[in-house]
Amino acid sequence: MYTNKKSLLFLLILLLLPITTKAYCTDEEKLYFKEIEDEYKVTYELNKETKNYTIKFYNAEPDRYTLGIYGVVDDNVKYKSISDNEEEYANIKPGEYKLGVFGVTKECDEAVKTFKLNLQKYNNFSEDPLCEGIEEFVLCQPTYDKEIDYETFVSRVNTYKKTQEKKQATIDKKDNNQMVEFIENNLFQIIIIGVFITAVIVTIILTAKSVKKSRRLE
């Protein structure tokens, strides 16, 4: 008798609980999204002041889909609807995230596409004066995920600079060699052109003197 009462109570609790039904997207719905997938764009930008990111999502059909970020439980993340087709998630900390494009209709409310997004940490070394002129170097770029100490940073920067100097010296030497080779291969033509230019200049000078002399005689 006690067992029956316990079973009945459990059944009543189940009946009182809210029932939610997940609408799994059909193959046709998934196929439809693949056809328009290229219209969906996810971009991100690093805020150097906060060291956090802003993700922007271009949504071609907001009545059917939306963007979701797995595992982000942070009150500091700010969501904003920029327009009917643009969503913004601001103040997201660096890290690797799994994103999904989810259906928002009664017929489809699961992810039709998932992908990963790696938001690298801000690189404080990028502000170091040693990076001036070599901003393209990996340790001088705004983001860098690995942890290194300042001594290692300085050492690698100096090594990179020496490598670049050697490369530039090689390029300059090659350019000089090409110039010498060009002159050697075209020496006769260069002499002819030089003689012609000289003759033209001499002719102009003599003509000018002749004109001046004629004016004086007048």
pLDDT, one tens digit per residue, over 80-105 is 888 889 989 898 989 889 999 998 88
* Residue type for position 204: I
The string of pLDDT tens digits covering residues 156-199 is 999 999 888 887 766 766 666 667 666 667 767 778 887 778 87
Radius of gyration of the chain (CA): 36
Q: Is 211 exposed, middle or buried (0-12, 13-18, 19+ CB in 10 A)?
A: exposed
Cα dist from 42 to 55, 100, 189, 199, whole Å: 7, 11, 59, 67
- Does pLDDT of 218 surpass 90? no
**Hey, what's the torsion of the CAs at 139, 141, 142, 146, to 10 degrees?**
-30
Cβ atoms of 55 and 42 within 8 Å: the answer is yes
